[in-house]
Amino acid sequence: MGIAWRAANSLVVRAGYGITYDPFSLGRDLRANYPVQFVQNLAFDTTWSYSTTLDRGLPPSPIVPERERLPLPLTAAFITADENFKRGYVQSWNFTLEKQLGDWIGSAGYVATRSIRQTAFLNANWADLGTGNAGQQLVQRFGRTAATTFIGHLPTNRYDSLQARVQRRLRGGYQIQFSYSWAHSLGYTAENSTSAPRVSHPAYWGKNYGPLPQDLRHNAVVSGVVELPFGKGKRWAPTGVAAALLGGWQINSLARLSTGTPVTPTAPGTTLNAPGSGQFADCLGPIAKVGERTRWWDRTNLADPNAVSPNVPRFGTCGMGVLRGPGLINVDMGVFRRIRISERIDVQLRGEAFNISNTPHFSNPNADISSGNFDLIGDVQNTGREGNDQRFFRVGVRIGF
């Protein structure tokens, strides 16, 4: 529901609120369970030992009896939801002021969402710190070694933002728009259907709290459309051969600039030795950004807990999303010309350039403190736009009738 109030001839106040159930589909992830699909997890003594050898091979798959109720093999992975599961919901609200100044319209507003009872995949076979596989909860009770996942809840995810826009509508042959958002997204796990917390131990769930993967702190977008002032009805060359050649051309441009997404510095879970939970690196002080292709962060204040406390099973001191990866700068442009063939038929010639400046778009660096590739930027970032990431051109013809 929403409301709009014209406080003055050139000022409008808008507000809105919405609520919806979490759209996550339970059926998608439950459909491949035993006995439809048999995913076998084999136990091993410690995190640095093996489950079997090539000589021994894999244990034979169990024969599924024809019964209404089937015993679940202890080595068969399983996903389920129990009677405690209650579907969550998402609330969203906004408050915006919109002001007109001549040909320009500006707006600024507060936009927020709350994901209540955020759906998450929870590991029921977690282990206490330092106990290894023998300390897994279901191993101790039933000898069950396989992954056992409950679709459950984590506390509320939060999104708060300031969203501003300045727009000049198409007049006099051009229009332009500037959009900017400052946002902060905090929570325990990404808001998609298969997200699992990094730390499965319920006593340490709070360590999962931090910036979410989609936390773009600053995001600016500039777009514009310009009709060249030639041809019929324009300022120059309204008739004749010049109008036929120069008329009907239009130039479009779209630029986006945004800061990087969160990165969590990690470490091997050797001394942690807690199946079901991942390890963090130790943050000994502020982590400076270097920003080079082969050295994105200064690792002076980053350490491996296995080296700092080799005999103490503990989590590293770094939190979720405490580092930031590369930002994004991208400019796309297009040139179009419309030719009217008749009253009902027109042809549009299209030329488009994506990433016209050929600016590199790098993904987040390697964040494993023990890796030789730590803080090394690798593959290309997913920009969420059409086409390949490097600069390329496309031409086309569109016929409308």
The mean per-residue pLDDT over the stretch 53-70 comes to 82
- Please give the full DSSP string across 276-333, using - where no structure is assigned: TBPEEPEE-S---EEEETTEEE-GGGEE-HHHHSTT-----S--TT-EE---EEEEEE
Tally of domains within the chain: 1
State the average pLDDT for the chain: 88
How far apart (Å, rounded) are the C-alpha atoms in residues 148 and 121? 10
Asked if residue 311 is part of any domain, the answer here is yes
pTM of the model: 0.82
Asked if residue 85 is part of any domain, the answer here is no
Report residue 23's pLDDT band, with 50, 70 and 90 as the boundaries. confident
The mean per-residue pLDDT over the stretch 178-205 comes to 90
**pLDDT tens per residue across span 251-304:** 999 999 999 999 999 999 999 999 999 999 999 999 999 988 888 999 999 999
How far apart (Å, rounded) are the C-alpha atoms in residues 358 and 380? 13
Residue 39: Cβ within 10 Å count: 14
Of the two residues 157 and 385, the one the predictor is more confident about is 157
Asked if residue 60 is part of any domain, the answer here is no
Report residue 379's pLDDT band, with 50, 70 and 90 as the boundaries. low
The mean per-residue pLDDT over the stretch 307-315 comes to 92
> What pLDDT shows up at residue 387?
46
Asked if residue 384 is part of any domain, the answer here is yes
> What pLDDT shows up at residue 59?
81
Can you give the residue range of the structural domain that contains 258?
Answer: 218-401
Asked if residue 103 is part of any domain, the answer here is no
Report residue 166's pLDDT band, with 50, 70 and 90 as the boundaries. very high
Asked if residue 272 is part of any domain, the answer here is yes
**pLDDT tens per residue across span 193-210:** 678 899 999 999 999 999
- Tell me the residue ranges of DSSP E strands in 145-261: 148-154, 157-171, 174-187, 210-211, 218-227, 249-258
Report residue 47's pLDDT band, with 50, 70 and 90 as the boundaries. low
- Tell me the residue ranges of DSSP E strands in 59-156: 78-80, 89-101, 104-116, 118-123, 148-154
Report residue 380's pLDDT band, with 50, 70 and 90 as the boundaries. low
Q: Are 279 and 316 in contact (CB under 8 A)?
A: yes
Report residue 81's pLDDT band, with 50, 70 and 90 as the boundaries. confident
> What pLDDT shows up at residue 200?
93
The mean per-residue pLDDT over the stretch 296-317 comes to 93
**pLDDT tens per residue across span 110-158:** 999 999 998 889 999 999 999 998 999 999 999 998 889 999 888 999 9
Report residue 244's pLDDT band, with 50, 70 and 90 as the boundaries. confident
Asked if residue 233 is part of any domain, the answer here is yes
Of the two residues 74 and 211, the one the predictor is more confident about is 211
Extract the tokens encoding 119: 């759906």
> What pLDDT shows up at residue 382?
55
> Exposure pattern of 212-226 as b/e (b: 16+ CB <10 Å)?
bbebbbebebbbbbe
Asked if residue 305 is part of any domain, the answer here is yes
